[in-house]
Amino acid sequence: MAEKASGKMSIIEVNWQDQIGLIAGPYDGNRKGWLSRAARRANVTYRTVKSLYYGESTNPRHSVATSILSAAEKARIEEAQRDASHLSQIYYRRAEALAAIDADFHRPEIDALVEAARILGGGDCAGADRGGDVK
């Protein structure tokens, strides 16, 4: 894929196997099904994904490259959101555990953990579903 930088064309190397693997998600033991999932998510044909994955084609059309790279970026964002949500839950559980030990003594840490959980959780945390803040 080429990119125009300051009036000159430069070549950007793309590892298509990594991009396709990211789109397809965890490997389930069925390579054809796994590649088909990547093709559906990227809105391209199975044949295109297969040829890029196995290196039969290294220079796809611009529309194909854009579709695959966009789907890979979407997969990265979704993975980061899942990780943030998981971390938010860990922080909230830790805050609950500290509150159960001695809420007054651990108040600054509890407040910091709850705030971090809310930030990571997109403004909401698991505790909000359970009826409120950690006391």
pTM for the structure as a whole: 0.72
Q: How far apart are CA 94 and CA 110, in angstroms?
A: 8
Let me know if residue 38 belongs to a domain. yes
Domain count, the chain: 1
Range of the domain at 122: 2-129
Let me know if residue 16 belongs to a domain. yes
Let me know if residue 84 belongs to a domain. yes
Q: How far apart are CA 104 and CA 98, in angstroms?
A: 10
Let me know if residue 134 belongs to a domain. no
- pLDDT tens over the chain, length 135 residues: 555 556 677 677 899 999 999 999 999 899 999 999 999 999 999 999 999 999 999 889 999 999 999 999 999 999 999 999 999 999 999 999 999 999 999 999 999 999 999 998 865 544 444 434 566
Let me know if residue 28 belongs to a domain. yes
What's the DSSP call for residue 5? E
Let me know if residue 57 belongs to a domain. yes
Let me know if residue 135 belongs to a domain. no
Q: How far apart are CA 17 and CA 15, in angstroms?
A: 6
Strand 2-5 vs strand 8-11: parallel, antiparallel, or unpaired? Answer: antiparallel
Q: What angle do CA 27, 41, 125 make, to 5 degrees?
A: 80
